[in-house]
Structure 1
Amino acid sequence: MIDFWLAAGLLLLVALSFLLIPVLRGRRAQLEEDRTALNVALYQERVAELQTQQEEGVLDATQMDTGRAEAARELLADTEGVEAPRVSRLGKPWPLLAAILVPVLGLGLYLHFGASDKVELTREFSQAPQSMEEMTRRLERAVAAQPDSAEGLYFLGRTYMAQDRPGDAAKIFERTVTLAGRQPELLGQWAQAQYFADGKKWSDKVQALTDEALKADPKEVTSLGLLGIAAFESQRYQDAIDYWNRLLVQLPPEDSSRAALQGGITRATEKLEASGGKVAQAPAAKVAALLKVRVDLAPELKAKVQPGDSVFIFARATAGPPAPLAAKRLTVADLPATVELGDADAMMPQLKLSNFPEVQLVARISRAGQPTAGEWIGRSQPLASSTTTQQTLTIDSPDK
């Protein structure tokens, strides 16, 4: 911050110079005015002396005129080159008062409305923290400086959880949800913090948060893990196994937490079998649909389209909602091209290829970039969503 204040001080000196220079010039003009007044007084004194000498008979009329003319020449010589006095409507005290008030007022306004704290935080975050406590202090200051930053609140909540401060984390996550909306991940984090803040006691509040999170996203990992923990603690081992198995399939193979999660499933299985129970087999997972299609343009249309025209390739259910189940966007310049349409390309979570047995492939060229209307189109025959062989789709018809 030292360089910032040095720059601010330099700018302040420049600003003050514009106020103080007129004052200094005014003082010089005052000195010249005072010297002129003194010369006039000396001239009047000399003339009075000559008049006295004339009355006493020492000087005659000719000598009197000569002396007066000499005194006048001396006065003119002394006052030659003196500028006419300037009249200031503001008065002399105002520039000095402004010179004092401007820096004081500017400093006060900056301290009130400025962002010196944010500048300092930016400088701090440019350097790696030396400890978790230092990181926590930085995040707390960042949240204080930007209380409406959902991102800052989220990272502070995660830091509190890492420091085993679930009570503080629950409050922070609640504020984050208020700012960012009721997103599944945030609800899961809030539920987890609240569960540990309550001493690992399940509550209606935690249940409501996890239910809302999983309703919006059935794969929300924090909620699945938390429900598994709560089920294990309450000796509902089969539920714990089910929740943790659902979580396990969401984790990438290289995730370090897979080993701990698999260990929890093993312990829950042993406890369930020790109590005389039997692990229920999980239903077979539905195979995700994946269609591969090669899209090309009919030869007679190549002269009628432009390279930058948009090409929308999508699959829609032959018996179901008209909305696309999966879509990709290319340009005419990309054709011919081979694309894959699968569950990962779903426009909405509930509308996936694997949820509909039969679909139709469509490719549309739209010069205006609108997926619902264009100039040219190509359609396939209905086919099973489980089809694995590559399909060929040619854009060859006017889009009506």
Structure 2
Amino acid sequence: MTLFWIASVVLVVFSCILIALPIYRQKVNNDEALRDELNKAFYKDRLSELQEEAEEGLVEDQQDLIEDLKQSLLDDIPAQKDNANGSSISPMAVLIPSVIVVIVLSYGMYMKFGAHQEVQEWQQVTANLPALSKKLMAPEGAALSDDEMRDLTLALRTRLHYQPDDSTGWLLLGRIALANRDVDTAIGSMKKAYDLEPKDPDVMLGFAQALMLSQDDVEQDQARRILGELVKDDYVDLRVFSLLAFDAFERKDFPAAIRYWSVMQQMIGPQDSRYEMLSRSIENAQKQMGQQVGTGKSVSVAISVADNVSVDPNAALIVSVHTADGSPMPVAAARYPVGSLPRTVVLDDGNSMIAERKLSSLDTLMVRVRIDSDGNVATKQGDWFGESEAVKMGESVTVVIDKQY
């Protein structure tokens, strides 16, 4: 704002200079001197004419005519001087009122028609950016009014214009656009944040969330890859599994949706108010699969390793569910890349070994987890493993890999 006023003062001063220059540089017209010269020339010409007329005998009283001519010349001098003195105007008498008019008109017209009030409000909104950002990021951020959201958007755009490398600002602008269902702005803002901080989990999640709303299959595939990286890096956030579950449900991959929602249930526990909502989502997915509500069950397994265990990143992770008595024959099993540990996996009826005996038929169970280093399930020599205690179906299962065959 200070820069604006400085620029306006410079422009006004320049305008005043343009007014002053013609006043002080105007050519001085000395009318008195010009009239004297003219009168002298007229006097001399008339004297010459009288002389010629006298020589020709046309004039008898030449001397009287010369006296009259001199008298008329003298009579013209005082009147001419008075007239010249009466018309004299000081340059300052013209300059000062002109400068005052320029200044009053310039700032008066700006105050009236120059959006002065809007500029002031813009400056106030920009200064209020930290407070608005803090309010948005707080748990009660959803309470922001429409006016506050517009103010925050304006302030962010202003800041990002001057600081285009602010990844946090782009992320915040993208979140506002998501809240307003402005998909194009959300994707564009989140992409700028992602280009600046491609490994930041919050930025990755925000960009994936924006891409999920796109109608472009390529962008949706990119969102799935980003979410897969978050899960692989063990970025434990309910929103990651929520996006994966929503995407799976939209693609009619109902077993996958059920698994993700089940993981969310295990993460929040039955005491959380969202638990029942997730249960309804699971039941809805089961209905879509043609299953009877209440028969679909899954087992969520939290897997970790002891400090003395060395894990080959190229090994496989074999998770098997057994009856509570520890029977060697698994009821359900699944094979995963080791990835990063600790991690959580979910098994359901889709992982059952025998169609006639589903995982959901168990009342109690135990889980074994093994790191298969050679790729051969039949060989166990040297493999690390762990197993859980017997638990009831629906309870969370924890397995620590700390033993070696």
Q: Give yes or no for TM over 0.5.
A: no
Structure possessing the higher radius of gyration over alpha carbons:
2
Give the TM-score, by structure 2 length: 0.41
